[in-house]
Amino acid sequence: MEKIPILRMGNLLLVTIQVDLYDRLAENLEADLVQAINKTGAQGVLIDISAVSIIDSFMGRIIGNIATMSKILDAETVVVGMQPAVAITLVELGLPLKGVLSALNVERGIELLTNKIQYKDNDLREMDDGDIE
């Protein structure tokens, strides 16, 4: 069966969707990603959709789900490279993907994730320091 590969890079998981999405494939990706976060302890997920020309309500919902599920598992999700025509279509369809972080390209996406993770780590450290004092 077709599968979308999930690559690990440090504390990030990278997913590049290079094929036409259909429902089952998107659902499998959702399940695989959540498993992978749990297994690797990744703190960030980067999904590159620059090669995806169609996102309809179902696939949009899966992207939203992935972001929400990752958050519960303490990982941030960034969607990068959305084609302008896809963005226009999603908003007119009524699915603005609220709650999903996005970046223009992979580089900026990684930057955003790294900053988010660092910020979170610093926050935790400050809380720990507070306890000691």
Partner 1 sequence: MVILNKETMTITREVDVIPFRNRLKEYAVKVGMSLVNQTKIITAASELARNMLKYAGGGIAIIEVVSKGRENGIKLTFTDKGPGIPDIKMAMKDGFSTGKSLGLGLPGTKRLVSEFDIQSEVGKGTTVTVTKWKNG
Measured CA to CA, the distance from residue 60 to residue 90 in angstroms comes to 8
53/115 with CB nearer partner 1: 53
Question: Per the structure block, which two tokens stand in for 126?
Answer: 């400050």
Stretch that binds partner 1, among 6-14, 15-23, 43-51, 120-128 (CB under 8 A): 15-23
Residue 1 CB, shortest distance to partner 1, in Å, is 11
Q: For residue 122, which amino acid is it?
A: N
Choose, by CB under 8 A, the member of 95, 97, 103, 112 that binds partner 1.
95
Residue 71 CB, shortest distance to partner 1, in Å, is 19
Q: For residue 57, which amino acid is it?
A: S
Q: For residue 11, which amino acid is it?
A: N
Measured CA to CA, the distance from residue 118 to residue 114 in angstroms comes to 6
**96 forms part of the interface with partner 1 (CB under 8 A):** no
**61 forms part of the interface with partner 1 (CB under 8 A):** yes
**50 forms part of the interface with partner 1 (CB under 8 A):** no
Measured CA to CA, the distance from residue 72 to residue 16 in angstroms comes to 22
CB-CB neighbours of 119 under 10 Å: 10
Choose, by CB under 8 A, the member of 22, 99, 119, 126 that binds partner 1.
22
Question: Per the structure block, which two tokens stand in for 128?
Answer: 């720990």
Q: Which stretches of the chain bind partner 1, using CB under 8 A?
A: 20, 22-24, 53-58, 61, 83-86, 88-89, 92-95
